[in-house]
Amino acid sequence: MKRAAFRNRWLPYALLAPQFVIILVFFYWPAVDSLRLSLYRASPFGDRLIFAGLSNFERLFRDAAYLRSGVTSIVFAFAVTLLGLGLSLFLAAMANARIRGLTIYRSLLLWPYGIAPAVAGVVWLFIFNPSYGVLPYLLSFVTSYQFNWLLKGWVALALIIVTAVWKQFGYNLAFYLAGLQAIPASVLEAASVDGAGPVRKFFAITFPLLSPVTFFLFTLNMTFAFFESFGIVHAVTQGGPGDATSLLVYKAWKDGFQGLELGFSAAQSVILMIVVIGLTALQFRYAEKRVTY
């Protein structure tokens, strides 16, 4: 830490005041209140809250819809992360000749960062449109299977996965390309001299040396999939068809705002809190261990 430079009894507190007013009123109080609410349920007339112990949580773990939502979220998060990272790493590795114009490519890859997930979802919704979208049209030459996301849950899930992967793709690719540039060419050349082929070199050298980038992108994409994909679901599929795309955050919002089951929704928020804490802990393990190197 820096040597403190100024002496003043009250000024530091005044400087911190705006931040603290906001985090206490809009972060800490609601978080604590969510914990409290998760232990209550509404009375039959909905006029007051009755202490319910852990019954909301028991209900969560017995509720088939909630468990399905959990599974859907995990499938979605891993699909988005693994597909996104796999695809971008593969392309980055293939394209890793030293070429001119990398900064231009970087710009051309990064701009989808600015597109809201919900808006990206609306655009993909049209591409998936069962009657005249370009994707079902192209697929109709290959198979007679009806890729109708309104009828088939897995197509709807594929729609939101594709949207999320597309949105994150350029970002992932840009980071991998940059990471590859940092790998010393001498190491790869030494391996070539020893007779290692491109595949061998990739798995023995490139992939391990890229592990910090992979790990960083992994937590980032997981966080995106769990917490920032709400807009895609709400604007595009509304959790449907049935509850095929009802991700955890969407369900927590829906049960709280449309179902008005405050305690039940708060219990879901508490579960999500545990997920965030897990992801943050993961990030910090990495910060300490730095993977490889």
Partner 1 sequence: MAADGTTAAGTLAAPVRAVRTARTPRRPWDRWTSHLILASAVAVIAFPLYYAFVISTQTLSEVSSLPPRVLPSGHFLENYATAWQRAGMGRLLFNSAVMALSVAIGKIVISILSAFAIVYFDFRGKTFAFWMIFVTLMLPIPVRIVSTYEVISSLGWVNTYWGLTVPLMASATGTFLFRQFFQTIPDSLAEAAQLDGAGPLRFLWSILLPLSKANMAALFVILFVYGWNEYLWPLMITTTAEMRTAVVGIEALVPRGGSQLPEWNVIMAAAMMTLLPPVIVIVTMQRWFVKGLIETEK
Window contacting partner 1 (CB under 8 A); options: 39-47, 65-73, 152-160, 166-174: 166-174
Is the CB of 158 or the CB of 235 nearer to partner 1?
A: 235
Position 28 contacts partner 1 (CB under 8 A): yes
> In the set 56, 72, 206, 223, which binds partner 1 (CB under 8 A)?
223
Position 153 contacts partner 1 (CB under 8 A): no
Position 107 contacts partner 1 (CB under 8 A): yes
**DSSP H helical ranges for 183-261:** 185-193, 198-201, 207-209, 211-227, 230-232, 248-257
Question: In angstroms, rounded to a whole number, what is the distance separating the alpha carbons of residues 149 and 156?
Answer: 4
Position 100 contacts partner 1 (CB under 8 A): yes
Residue 40 host element (H or E): strand 40-42
> In the set 236, 239, 243, 244, which binds partner 1 (CB under 8 A)?
236
- Long-range (24+ apart) CB contacts under 8 A made by 248-256 are 248/69, 248/70, 248/73, 248/272, 248/275, 250/69, 251/65, 251/66, 251/69
Kindly write down the DSSP assignment for every residue of 78-104, as one continuous string: HHHHHHHHHHHHHHHHHT-S--TTHHH
Window contacting partner 1 (CB under 8 A); options: 55-63, 66-74, 78-86, 184-192: 184-192
Question: In angstroms, rounded to a whole number, what is the distance separating the alpha carbons of residues 233 and 70?
Answer: 15
> In the set 54, 67, 116, 190, which binds partner 1 (CB under 8 A)?
116
Closest contact distance (angstroms) between CB of 6 and partner 1 is 4
Position 57 contacts partner 1 (CB under 8 A): no
Q: How many CB atoms lie within 10 A of CB 267?
A: 30
Cis preceding-peptide flag for 18 (omega within 30 of 0): no
Window contacting partner 1 (CB under 8 A); options: 51-59, 151-159, 199-207, 257-265: 257-265
Position 61 contacts partner 1 (CB under 8 A): no
> In the set 57, 78, 207, 230, which binds partner 1 (CB under 8 A)?
230
> In the set 213, 222, 225, 244, which binds partner 1 (CB under 8 A)?
213
